[in-house]
Amino acid sequence: MPTKQSLIDAIADALAVQQKDYMIGDACDSLNLEPTDYNPSISKRVYVRKRLRNKDISELLKIADKVLMDYGDTNERILEKEVQLHRGQFGNVEQIIFASNQKPDITFDLINHKLNIINANGSLIFDRQILQSEGLYLQDLLDWWQPIGNGSSLYNRMLSSIQSDPEELFYATYYRHFRPLLGDKLPALLPQVHFNYDPKTIKQLGGQRRITQRMDFLMFLPNKRAIFEIDGIHHYSVVGNGGKPTPNPQEYAKMVSEDRMYRLAGYDVFRFGGYEFIDNQIAEKMIIDFFNDYFSGNKIH
């Protein structure tokens, strides 16, 4: 599994191989790396690592591209392989099915790995490619919606797919607060995103889901994806014969196991407890503070 540190090490290896110790400082300056007091004559690799340590993955990938173009790689092509591993972690997205509480009717070509949508069942289908290096912004969604929305509000259309008050507050607070601040640079917050597909219904499975099929919210940042879940009791319960949800340890274990799987695959996964949304004013502040911190850490401004 590629990591931030493995990418830093690969960049440091490439520069250390290609540059003399009295030249490596100029090379780092040309890459706009932050300064350090460490002496490169002691260790060129440590020197470069120190100048890279506060960069995020998206910045490191851009630096890696420039290093490969301007300075070259090791004989073993360590940096090139590391970049391929990072970019292969996600890849570009060809379409997103979202904003619906009904399962779409689909078929899947197992030979050519092609998804065929027979009936969207009220879902929206964003069918423009999402480049992993760029992410998806609200303006991208609006540009896509404009010719097909018949003058209707995309905001209201997405809002109509949300069926819980906490999720609605999360969605509304995000767009109401951050759209005026970030404008075209506002990452799109997609509600009710179909993530996995199980051909059987919960009823056919006896009330026991096998995998989460739909995420509450999904966001595409440059070289990063984030899942946001607002956890009501249904996230860790089973529905009994009387139709009442009952907390279930197996469902909870399944939920946290999936979280680990998505994190290992490179997703950021954030869960918010339903209890955090009892007071709307406190919840709004919590949501705004969270995204301020998250965007600051990911250089979204």
117 plus 220 within the same structural domain: yes
Cβ-based neighbour number of residue 240 at 10 Å: 11
Q: How confident is the model at residue 148 (pLDDT cuts 50, 70, 90)?
A: very high
Last residue of a domain, one of 32, 62, 88: 88
Q: What is the pTM of this model?
A: 0.66
Closest C-alpha to 102, from 84, 115, 120, 127: 120
Q: Which two tokens stand for residue 87?
A: 């970019």
pLDDT tens, position by position, 93-115:
888 999 987 777 877 776 766 77
Distances (CA, A) of 84 to 7, 12, 201: 11, 17, 38
Using a 10 angstrom Cβ sphere, with 0-12 exposed, 13-18 middle and 19 or more buried, the burial of residue 204 is: exposed
| Number of domains forming the structure of the chain | 2
212 plus 130 within the same structural domain: yes
pLDDT tens, position by position, 240-278:
666 666 666 666 677 777 787 777 677 889 999 988 999
142 plus 209 within the same structural domain: yes
Residue 58 belongs to domain spanning: 4-88
CB-based contact 165:277 (threshold 8 Å): yes
Distances (CA, A) of 83 to 57, 72, 239: 10, 13, 46
259 plus 168 within the same structural domain: yes
Among the listed ranges 141-155, 225-239, 240-254, which one has the minimum average pLDDT value?
A: 240-254
